[in-house]
Amino acid sequence: MTTTPTAPATTPAGRVRAVLRSPILLSVLGALLIGAVMLLGAGGNPFEAYAAMVEGAFGPTQWRNTLIVAVPVVGMALAVAVPLRAGVVNLGGEGQIVLGGITAAVVAAGVDLPAPLSLVVALGAGTLAGALLGALPAVLENRLGVPLLVSSLLISYPVVALASYLVRFPLRDPGTGLPQSRVFDEAYRMPVFAGIGLSALILVVVIALVVQVDSRTPFGYEVRLTGHNRRFTEYAGVAVPRMVTRLMATGGGIAGLIGAMVVTSVPYRFIDGALVVPAYTWTGLLAALLARANPLGAVAAGVFFAALQVGGFGMERETEVPRELSSILQATVIVILAATVAATARRARTRKDAA
Amino acid sequence: MTRPKAEPAGPTGPAGQPAGPPRVAMAGIAKRFGDVVANDAADLELAAGEIHALVGENGAGKSTLMSVLYGLLAPDEGEIRVDGQPVRFRSPVDAVEAGMGMVHQAFRLFPSMTVAENVVYRAETRGTAGLLDRRAAVRAVQDLSERYGLRVDPQARVRSLSVGVLQRVEILKALHRDAQVLILDEPTAVLTPQETRLLFDVLRGLRDAGRTVVIVTHKLGEVLELSDRVTVLRDGRTVARLVTAETTGAEIARHMTGRAVDLDGHHVPGTPGAPVLHVEGLTVGPPSGRPVVDDVSLSVRAGEIVGIAGVAGNGQVELLEAIAGLRPARDGSVRVGATLLDGYSAGRRREAGIAYIPEDRAATGSAVAASVADNLAIGFHRRQPLRKGWRLDRGAVREHARRIIEHFDIKVSSPSVPAGTLSGGNLQKLVVGREMAHDAPVLLVDQPTRGVDIGAIENIHARLRAYRDAGHAVLLASAELSELMALADRLLVMFGGRVVADLARADATEENVGLAMAGLATREVAS
């Protein structure tokens, strides 16, 4: 066993060094650099393009758009990060967000309630539905040994199809030819305060709760250690299967809440594919992976990816650089991250072998 | 074959000084990995016709030095001479060419092929049309195995062989390449006492035929019994070169640790009280088919250490895991005091009074990426004082860690560094300290000192005795017979999943235990 001589992360200097050496910063900078080279190769000006991207994401009127995209992306990043903290990969986000959305839509279409209560019920029902759908693969794994990774992904397809059916037939708005529900009643519309939707505020509360539980409670401690080494916590007497069910229910619940909040925001209706086509789930998954399941990191990465996407539109308008560059940057970040993490692990292994 | 056959023992006696240049001379070898210095001015001289022991604590640089000699690592500084000629090995191929041979701790053989095929691999005799001459291969193996008493069936599939025989195949492989210098890394770690004796005979035969044998080990008993000369490494440097006949175990240990060490580890009997742990007919394994733990019954009294001897893989790990609730039992029951634990989860068994020091401190006993404080808190984190209301009190977690670190003398700069940065011995002390801090009436212990250095062994043994003397029941499985002899008040031997011997301390001679470990004893009842 050799001691790796890095400065302890407790001293300020050590912390700065740790951040500078962190694979996350390296991959973001590397992606921006590769993007710049590609822009140069295509005859563009990288400085202009990146400036337009920043302007497009955080400009005086643009930040609201970024916020609107950031809420589902950050939410879905948490939906993945919460179970991933214990090493459990939730690939069922798509089904969970859609089920949450369609459940809220069914409540809005079918239940007549006064204003604040209506939203509480709609969001609550969406959250509950997402939580149950999230917990299902965990129960299947614990009881029957069905791999959670696979079942969480596969369960999503029938759920998305069911929502699609509901919105094309029973819930369909007969006034349009599109597969979408009627516009909800006033009581089922999320209010907006000074450009900031209630959704964003609720999400902030959720983030705060997740961070508190993660960093301050015995449960959060067990989850983190399980992520480091599941055999260890099992050996120490932690009931890991029950923990996995809880984490998947929490992740699914967050996804369901996000789905419910998206459909009860502008344009106040469930549109088939509106929760799937923007790939909130997969962007969120990338954000959670980039942050290595750290909740606050996942939030930051989610905002970053949302800003990349929204800023890409601004860049396309201003500089004629196609916004596909955003997707390229996003993918490059992940590729570099995966490569550095693998390289670091390999170096550590060879060093250990030789000593 | 590129070199002439081994000359019979030249002008050198077994323990004598070499007449000409030494067969191998390594001088001033330095090797660094980043900021870690593995070797720093390490010297080693090997004569023809000697058995040379290379000893040192873990991390002293033994494996690095041998990797340099076998061409696996290029040294940063220093010189290697073989028969007086300076050499530079770019790879093991060069080293083998120069007469080096290595028997690794983990065998590198093809399980689906025969012994003969494995032995001649990459040094084949070609027959007509360049095809492998199988008969020549078998003959070569037979010749070698007769000449050096390495009994092996050349036609047997490697898959079907026991560990001791596999090791012989590895030695044959090196001899077939005409290795003049044979390096064995911890050769007895996986052998029964009888197999060890056989190996030693073979090695002595090789020495008498003029070859050089290097054993890398930290077992002093073997060094004294087998070797002619000893080189001691500490912190990457050669600190002593001794002639075995003129030294003592205590002196070698002093060089290894840099201080005086109490080696004898005499057994101090405990004063057993009432039985605490009862195991009744415990059977573990797949629902149908051969059980890995077969109808085991035992009991351990308060203030008693019961040892479990046995060659690795005879059900010891599974027995302890089943008692701890980490592995389902097919049949049988476990009680702690009056509490029947059947159907209890691992967590509830811990609450009922079982603590467990597992075999693998890094894979099971800790989360190496998490901090030392986090590793010490587990099991305590849902109770006062670490838990305050709904919160985990970080200050209390650190305080708890400091107490265990201090009490168990764990060398660590701060409780917030990752546990993986600790040395093997200190990580083991961390696990031992945490489990003992539970103060559970029953402590299960598996291989408590595997791969840790002498200082830590002393420390851990003393702790285990103190834990027993505080009135706890300890069930201790170990592959080190000397460890069991030093600690156990009563000795069980497991073979093929069964307890095949139950010996009182006085009846547990090395001979008795060794025979039982090899499955050659009927059950004796302790008086």
List the single residue in B64, B382, B421 with the smallest CB-CB distance to A218.
B382
Question: So what's the pLDDT on residue B479?
Answer: 83
pLDDT at B523 over 60: no
pLDDT at B133 over 90: no
pLDDT at A2 over 90: no
Top residue of B345, B383, B438, B445 to mutate, by most chain A CBs within 10 Å, is: B345
Question: So what's the pLDDT on residue B11?
Answer: 42
Top residue of B29, B68, B364 to mutate, by most chain A CBs within 10 Å, is: B364
Q: Do B38 and A231 touch (CB under 8 A)?
A: no
What is the four-CA torsion angle of A39, A43, A44, A45, rounded to 10 degrees? 100
Nearest residue of B to residue A236 by CA position? Answer: B379
H-helix or E-strand spanning residue B32: strand B24-33
Residue numbers in B near A236 (CB within 8 A): 346, 350, 378-379
> Does B462 contact A at CB distance below 8 Å?
no
The Cα of B69 is separated from the nearest Cα of chain A by a number of Å equal to 13
Q: Show Cβ contacts of residue B129 under 8 Å, excluding neighbours closer than 6 positions.
A: none
Burial class (CB in 10 A: 0-12, 13-18, 19+), B49: buried
Tell me the average pLDDT across B391-403.
95
In angstroms, how far is the first alpha carbon of chain A from the final one? 7
Read off the pLDDT band of B354 (50, 70, 90).
Answer: very high
pLDDT at B422 over 50: yes
CB atoms inside a 10 Å sphere around CB B281: 12
Q: Do A233 and B392 touch (CB under 8 A)?
A: no
Read off the pLDDT band of A15 (50, 70, 90).
Answer: low
CB atoms inside a 10 Å sphere around CB B286: 9
* pTM listed for this prediction: 0.76
Kindly list the structural domains of chain B, giving each domain's residue range(s) and its CATH number in brackets, ordered by start: 27-99+213-258 (3.40.50.300), 275-517 (3.40.50.300)
The Cα of A84 is separated from the nearest Cα of chain B by a number of Å equal to 16
Please tell me which residue, B464 or B455, carries the higher pLDDT value.
Answer: B464
Top residue of A232, A240, A292, A294 to mutate, by most chain B CBs within 10 Å, is: A232
H-helix or E-strand spanning residue A177: none
Please tell me which residue, A109 or B20, carries the higher pLDDT value.
Answer: A109
Q: Do B346 and A234 touch (CB under 8 A)?
A: yes
List the single residue in B366, B387, B424 with the smallest CB-CB distance to A232.
B366
DSSP secondary structure, A19-37, as one string: HHH-HHHHHHHHHHHHHHH
CA angle, residues A195, A196, A200, in degrees to nearest 5: 160
SS3 (DSSP) at B145: helix
Q: Show Cβ contacts of residue B217 under 8 Å, excluding neighbours closer than 6 positions.
A: B53, B54, B55, B186, B187, B188, B223
The Cα of A347 is separated from the nearest Cα of chain B by a number of Å equal to 11
Determine the Cα–Cα distance for residues B387 and B379; give it in Å rounded to an integer: 11
pLDDT digits (tens, 9 = 90+) for A70-96: 999 999 999 999 999 999 999 999 999
Residue numbers in A near B393 (CB within 8 A): none
Residue type, B450: R
pLDDT digits (tens, 9 = 90+) for B487-501: 999 999 998 899 999
Nearest residue of B to residue A350 by CA position? Answer: B33
Q: Do A355 and B36 touch (CB under 8 A)?
A: yes
Residues B228 and B15: beta-carbon distance below 8 Å: yes
DSSP secondary structure, B148-201, as one string: HT----TTSBGGG--HHHHHHHHHHHHHHTT-SEEEEESTTTT--HHHHHHHHH
Residue numbers in B near A238 (CB within 8 A): 347, 378
Q: A46-348 has which CATH code?
A: 1.10.3470
What is the four-CA torsion angle of A116, A121, A127, A132, rounded to 10 degrees? 170
φ and ψ of A335, to 5 deg: -65, -45
Cα B413 off chain centre by:
28
Average pLDDT, chain A: 90
Q: Do B364 and A231 touch (CB under 8 A)?
A: yes
The Cα of A167 is separated from the nearest Cα of chain B by a number of Å equal to 43
Residue numbers in A near B347 (CB within 8 A): 237-239
Tell me the average pLDDT across B47-76.
88
Please tell me which residue, A285 or B220, carries the higher pLDDT value.
Answer: A285
Which residues in chain B (68-107) have CB-CB distances under 8 A to chain A?
72-73
> Does A15 contact B at CB distance below 8 Å?
no
Question: So what's the pLDDT on residue B178?
Answer: 85
Q: Show Cβ contacts of residue B406 under 8 Å, excluding neighbours closer than 6 positions.
A: none
> Does A324 contact B at CB distance below 8 Å?
no
Q: Do B392 and A216 touch (CB under 8 A)?
A: yes
Q: Where are the domains of chain A?
A: 46-348
Determine the Cα–Cα distance for residues A116 and A114; give it in Å rounded to an integer: 6
List the single residue in A8, A216, A225 with the smallest CB-CB distance to B367.
A225
Query: Which structure tokens are listed for B303?
Result: 């203030």
Q: Are strands B100-103 and B85-87 parallel, antiparallel or unpaired?
A: unpaired
> Does A209 contact B at CB distance below 8 Å?
no
What ranges in chain A are assigned the alpha helix state H? 12-21, 23-41, 46-58, 63-84, 93-110, 115-144, 148-168, 198-216, 218-228, 230-235, 240-263, 280-290, 295-319, 324-354
Tell me the average pLDDT across B129-141.
80
Question: So what's the pLDDT on residue A11?
Answer: 63
The Cα of A343 is separated from the nearest Cα of chain B by a number of Å equal to 16
List the single residue in A5, A217, A354 with the smallest CB-CB distance to B64.
A354
pLDDT at B8 over 80: no
Determine the Cα–Cα distance for residues B96 and B183; give it in Å rounded to an integer: 12
H-helix or E-strand spanning residue B459: helix B454-469
pLDDT at B148 over 90: no
Average pLDDT, chain B: 86
> Does A229 contact B at CB distance below 8 Å?
yes
pLDDT at B263 over 50: yes
> Does A352 contact B at CB distance below 8 Å?
no
Nearest to B394 by CA among A223, A221, A207: A221
H-helix or E-strand spanning residue B377: helix B372-377
Nearest residue of A to residue B321 by CA position? Answer: A235
Determine the Cα–Cα distance for residues A3 and A240; give it in Å rounded to an integer: 31
Q: Show Cβ contacts of residue A332 under 8 Å, excluding neighbours closer than 6 positions.
A: A27, A30, A31, A34, A35
Determine the Cα–Cα distance for residues A351 and A339; give it in Å rounded to an integer: 18
Determine the Cα–Cα distance for residues B50 and B341; give it in Å rounded to an integer: 56
List the single residue in B59, B363, B417 with the smallest CB-CB distance to A1.
B59
Of all residues in chain B, the percent with pLDDT exceeding 70 is 93
Please tell me which residue, A133 or B33, carries the higher pLDDT value.
Answer: A133
Q: Do B378 and A232 touch (CB under 8 A)?
A: yes
Burial class (CB in 10 A: 0-12, 13-18, 19+), B470: exposed
**ipTM field:** 0.85
pLDDT digits (tens, 9 = 90+) for A185-222: 999 999 998 888 999 999 999 999 999 999 999 999 99
> Does A9 contact B at CB distance below 8 Å?
yes
Q: In what order do the strands lie in the sheet with B275-284?
A: B293-301, B275-284, B331-336, B339-340
Which residues in chain B (354-413) have CB-CB distances under 8 A to chain A?
356, 358, 363-370, 374, 377-379, 381-382, 386-387, 390-392, 413
Residues B95 and B68: beta-carbon distance below 8 Å: no
Determine the Cα–Cα distance for residues A156 and A134; give it in Å rounded to an integer: 10
φ and ψ of B43, to 5 deg: -120, 145
List the single residue in A5, A10, A228 with the smallest CB-CB distance to B416.
A10
Burial class (CB in 10 A: 0-12, 13-18, 19+), A320: exposed
pLDDT at A19 over 70: no
Burial A109-141 (b: 16+ CB within 10 A, else e): beeebeeeebbebbbbbbbbbbbbbbbbbbbbb
Q: Do A2 and B38 touch (CB under 8 A)?
A: yes
Q: Do B346 and A235 touch (CB under 8 A)?
A: yes
Q: Do A233 and B378 touch (CB under 8 A)?
A: yes
Q: Show Cβ contacts of residue B167 under 8 Å, excluding neighbours closer than 6 positions.
A: B103, B107, B187, B190, B191, B199
List the single residue in B73, B369, B424 with the smallest CB-CB distance to A354.
B73
The Cα of B318 is separated from the nearest Cα of chain A by a number of Å equal to 13
Tell me the average pLDDT across A170-182.
91
Read off the pLDDT band of A12 (50, 70, 90).
Answer: low
Determine the Cα–Cα distance for residues A129 and B40; give it in Å rounded to an integer: 64
Question: So what's the pLDDT on residue B122?
Answer: 74
Nearest residue of B to residue A239 by CA position? Answer: B347
Q: Do B326 and A354 touch (CB under 8 A)?
A: no
Tell me the average pLDDT across A318-342.
86
Q: Do B36 and A237 touch (CB under 8 A)?
A: no
Residue numbers in A near B35 (CB within 8 A): 5
Q: Show Cβ contacts of residue B280 under 8 Å, excluding neighbours closer than 6 positions.
A: B297, B332, B333, B334, B335
Query: Which structure tokens are listed for B93?
Result: 């191929």
Whether cis (ω within 30° of 0) applies to the bond prior to A267 is: yes
Residues β-bridged to residue B282: B296
List the single residue in A5, A9, A228 with the smallest CB-CB distance to B369.
A228
Question: So what's the pLDDT on residue A87?
Answer: 95
The Cα of A355 is separated from the nearest Cα of chain B by a number of Å equal to 6
Task: Give me the total of CB pairs closer than 8 Å, taking one residue from chain A and one from chain B.
Answer: 109
Cα A323 off chain centre by:
21
Which residues in chain A (48-87) have CB-CB distances under 8 A to chain B?
none
Cα B158 off chain centre by:
23
Nearest residue of A to residue B438 by CA position? Answer: A236
Determine the Cα–Cα distance for residues B330 and B322; give it in Å rounded to an integer: 10
List the single residue in B36, B63, B392 with the smallest CB-CB distance to A218.
B392
